[in-house]
């Protein structure tokens, strides 16, 4: 298994395209500067030792050496020993509503961002549990298959927005069915958390909740929004340009409808909470999740890793040494080889 001990150093590779642009600008400037003395091709004949190809070749070598050096800083490591690990946990699927109504700002900064912040904090508190994420609007999509990789979970969570599902609506039944099937043949205790403003447009939700409950899955529901509701803002380039309107031109007000969410939680033998701008509602769910009995499962993972950065440093040094023997100008001794 290969991993990077310090992957943040890979951001330094963003300098490569910047340096390429600077080189192109320099070549354009030098061509214009030489052109001031006369016709460009004629000027090149007067300076036969001049070689643009050599300059570009040296630049490519330097960029390659830089890339290997960055990889060395990231410290590639390979797993050298596997060991058995006993872990305790539950399987948890989160179904997150990403319909446009989740953009309402009655919960700050808006319903969707507030939900993502709470899920991120939940991931931070997991220990031995597995987590998966489903997003839904008019359809449900499996955003993240169930995993114990919390870093990946946070990465997938960060890119969720209302464009994650192209079809608008609120298909809670689809999300429930997908979440139920996502557990597969897992023998661990299972839980589903549905996060929505409750405006279901599909039907059949209670039947899907009953099917999940028969399989021993507990279902928590989190109502996000306020009964008073709020308009759905429309942003263009991060600038508020108006609010969503219906066909009659009236501003749409989306309100929390928690009646259905309460029924789902009752069937799922868990709790329903309504979120506000405080953390109280989420804390109740987290505390209750910790009461679920965690099963023991055996897994294998790499326990020892060996550093491989020295190879990349060696490659970088070899390239730099080779670059020293590539001259900026044509050399009479090498001219017979005509490599450029």
Residue 278: predicted pLDDT? 67
Residue 78: predicted pLDDT? 78
The side-by-side arrangement of strands in the sheet containing 76-89 is: 2-4, 76-89, 295-307
Residue, of 333 and 241, whose pLDDT is higher: 241
Q: Please report the beta strands in 183-323, taking only residues with DSSP state E, as ranges in sequence order.
A: 190-196, 218-224, 230-231, 233-236, 239-243, 253-254, 272-275, 295-307
pLDDT, one tens digit per residue, over 110-162 is 999 999 999 999 999 888 899 999 999 999 999 999 998 899 999 999 999 99
Residue 334 has pLDDT above 50, yes or no: no
83-87, 153-157, 199-203: which range is least confident on average? 83-87
Residue 160: predicted pLDDT? 96
Q: What is the mean pLDDT of the chain?
A: 85
Residue 339 has pLDDT above 80, yes or no: no
Please choose, from the candidates 3, 307, 9, the residue with its C-alpha nearest in 3D space to the C-alpha of residue 151.
3
Average pLDDT estimate for 308-327: 87
Helix (H, G, I), strand (E, B) or coil at 225: coil
Other residues' Cβ atoms within 10 Å of the Cβ of residue 101: 29
pLDDT, one tens digit per residue, over 148-165 is 889 999 999 999 999 999
Residue 170: predicted pLDDT? 86
The answer to whether 307 and 73 are in contact (CB under 8 A) is: no
Domains in the chain: boundaries: 2-75+308-335, 85-298
Residue 324: predicted pLDDT? 85
- The percent of residues above 90 in pLDDT, for the chain, comes to 50
Find which of 47-61, 98-112, 197-211, 297-311 is predicted with most confidence, using mean pLDDT.
98-112
Residue 259 has pLDDT above 80, yes or no: yes
The answer to whether 57 and 326 are in contact (CB under 8 A) is: yes
Residue 64: predicted pLDDT? 93
Residue 41 confidence class, pLDDT cut points 50, 70, 90 = low
Please choose, from the candidates 184, 188, 183, the residue with its C-alpha nearest in 3D space to the C-alpha of residue 93.
183
Q: How is domain 85-298 classified at the CATH fold level?
A: Rossmann fold (3.40.50)
Q: Please report the beta strands in the chain, taking only residues with DSSP state E, as ranges in sequence order.
A: 2-4, 76-89, 91-97, 130-136, 140-147, 190-196, 218-224, 230-231, 233-236, 239-243, 253-254, 272-275, 295-307
């Amino acid at each position: 298994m290969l991993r990077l001990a310090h992957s943040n150093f890979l951001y330094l590779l963003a300098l490569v395209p910047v340096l390429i642009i600077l080189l192109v600008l320099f070549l354009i400037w030098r061509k214009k500067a030489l052109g001031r003395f006369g016709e460009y091709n004629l000027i090149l004949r007067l300076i036969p030792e001049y070689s643009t190809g050599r300059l570009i070749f040296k630049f490519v070598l330097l960029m390659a050496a830089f890339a290997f050096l960055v990889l060395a800083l990231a410290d590639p490591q390979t797993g050298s020993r596997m060991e058995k690990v006993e872990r305790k946990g539950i399987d948890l699927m989160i179904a997150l509503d990403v319909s446009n109504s989740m953009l309402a700002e009655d919960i700050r900064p808006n319903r969707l961002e507030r939900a993502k912040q709470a899920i991120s904090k939940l991931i931070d508190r997991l220990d031995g549990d597995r987590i998966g994420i489903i997003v839904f609007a008019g359809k449900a999509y499996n955003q993240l298959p169930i995993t114990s990789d919390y870093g990946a979970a946070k990465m997938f969570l960060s890119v969720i927005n209302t464009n994650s599902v192209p079809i608008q609506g609120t298909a809670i039944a689809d999300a429930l069915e997908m979440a139920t099937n996502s557990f597969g043949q897992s023998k661990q205790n299972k839980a589903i958390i549905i996060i929505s403003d409750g405006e279901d447009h599909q039907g059949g939700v209670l039947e899907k909740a009953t099917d999940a409950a028969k399989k021993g899955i507990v279902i928590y529901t989190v109502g996000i929004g306020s009964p008073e509701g709020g308009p759905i803002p429309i942003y263009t380039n991060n600038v508020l340009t108006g609010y969503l309107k219906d066909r009659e031109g009236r501003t749409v007000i989306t309100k929390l409808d928690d009646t259905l969410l309460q029924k789902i939680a009752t069937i799922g033998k868990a709790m329903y909470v309504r979120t506000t701008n405080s953390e109280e509602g989420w804390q109740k769910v987290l505390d209750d999740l910790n009461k679920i009995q965690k099963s023991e499962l055996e897994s294998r993972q790499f326990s020892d890793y060996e550093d491989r950065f020295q190879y990349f440093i060696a490659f970088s040094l070899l390239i730099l040494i080779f670059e020293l023997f590539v001259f900026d100008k044509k050399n009479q001794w090498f001219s017979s080889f005509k490599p450029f």
